[in-house]
Amino acid sequence: MPSRRRTPPVVSVTSAPKSLADDQSRRASRYLIQMGIRVACFLLTVLLWRHVPLWLSILFLVGAVILPYTAVLFANAGRERGIGSDATMTPPELTAGPRHDDQPGEPR
């Protein structure tokens, strides 16, 4: 009788996720860029407070306050899923069923 086992699907090398080191490096550089923008917003708020319209100074101040929160969220977000990656997990196929010599209700 032929075997009922299925062969696992072949995984393409191009669908493999990036290495953990590359992912951490990308997240760290994104965090540093956002924190640099935050420092620039803070400095622009302090230096330009009386020289530009108030709404622009407040906009810089809001950027300086909000950016740390979003930078931490993005830095801790975890690895990104690649295109074509499965978001769901397929359960393993059961190959063995109950034995036929067992009768329900009979003690073993």
Query: Which tops the pLDDT comparison, 104 or 7?
Result: 7
pTM of the model: 0.58
Cα atoms found within 13 Å of the Cα of residue 20, Cβ hemisphere only: 0
pLDDT of residue 13: 67
Residue 98 has pLDDT above 70, yes or no: no
Digit-coded pLDDT (tens) for 29-85: 999 999 999 999 999 999 999 999 999 999 999 999 999 999 999 888 877 665 555
Residue 17 has pLDDT above 90, yes or no: no
